[in-house]
Amino acid sequence: MKIFLINGPNLNYLGKRQTNIYGYNTLQDIERFMIKKAKRFNVNLECYQSNHEGYIIDIVHRAYYINCNSIIINAGAYSHTSIPILDALTLFNGLIIEVHISNIYNREVFRHTSFISKRANAIISGLGVYGYISALNYLIKS
């Protein structure tokens, strides 16, 4: 089984930026833990992060091209603005889990809408970094 973990803009500054909202774990901490857990279940997890919309689209296209089984995606602020990422995700045939560290429905109104959700099979919002772990657990059992 192959899973792509895709993180969007500013998530490379987890642990440093708005720690009152996102906590102190870095993206590297999250990726390290997720890869270790995935290996225990014989899952190949590839991690990506980009601040650029086009690169995220290229990663989704690659997931489609290589027949990746699933995508875990936290598109960050692109969740609320990017129809092109949504369009790329509609090409992908596998399961997609959308993750948000914070509860996007308990924040500014502009964060209450997610274009990614229109394609996601499931949405995890507000569990902190445990949202990533929950997504991986679900995909391993699916």
Q: Annotated binding site, which residues?
A: 74, 80, 87, 101-102, 111
* Residue 100 appears among annotated catalytic residues: yes
Pick the catalytic residue: 48, 78, 100, 132?
100
Contact at 8 Å (CB) between 89 and 82? no
* Residue 61 appears among annotated catalytic residues: no
Structure tokens belonging to residue 94: 């596998």
Annotated binding site for substrate: 74, 80, 87, 101-102, 111
Pick the catalytic residue: 22, 48, 78, 132?
22
Q: What is the DSSP letter of 46?
A: E
Task: Give the span between the Cα atoms of 74 and 80, in whole angstroms.
Answer: 11
Contact at 8 Å (CB) between 122 and 17? no
Q: Which residues are catalytic?
A: 22, 100
